[in-house]
Amino acid sequence: MEAFRGNHPAKVEDGGRLKLPGPFKKIVDDAQVTQFYITSMDGLSAQIWPLLEWEKQEALLAELSATDDAAEKYLDQTSYYGQQVEMDKQARVQLPQILRGTASLDAEVAVRGKMNHLEVHNLKNLEESLKVNALTTEDRRTLSPILKPRNVQG
């Protein structure tokens, strides 16, 4: 499946349904995805996983969970907030009610691509968080191998 990239503002309808933005809908349509697992690690944002991608995550967790408390905590969090949903014919998914409340996903949201899943944030909360958590000089040093210009042959 093609990677999810970028940010697309959207609105959550009164009933808690979110219409997938066009560029993301094209990716799931091309991959013939209709089933999703919607969850969160912290209740502050929603993660929308194509079900097959979530099942890969579960397989990795199964290997860890027998020996790692962190994996068990992750499963506890993602199970508490999680629900399996099906996309309707209008490309909408139902966000779990508990998650809509804890993450304030009730109006304007940002739907961001995170490679193999989508992340949904309250738009105002995300804008504030990005200001507070801007890249520092140390972050830029750490990222320098990917930030410096490269000569492209072509």
| Tens-digit pLDDT profile for residues 92-146 | 999 999 999 999 999 899 999 999 999 999 999 999 999 999 999 999 999 999 8
Helix or strand (DSSP H, E) at 85: strand 83-86
**pLDDT at 65 exceeding the cut of 80:** no
**pLDDT at 153 exceeding the cut of 70:** no
Pick the range with the lowest mean pLDDT from 7-11, 81-85, 98-102, 150-154: 150-154
**Cα 105 versus chain centre, distance:** 13
Q: What are the boundaries of each domain within the chain?
A: 7-124
Please report the pLDDT score of residue 154 as a whole number: 52
pTM above 0.85, yes or no: yes
Percent of the chain at pLDDT > 70 equals 95
Q: CATH number for the 7-124 domain, one of 1.10.10.350, 3.40.1550.20, 1.10.600.10, 2.60.40.10? A: 3.40.1550.20
Closest-CA residue to 60 (of 42, 78, 86): 78
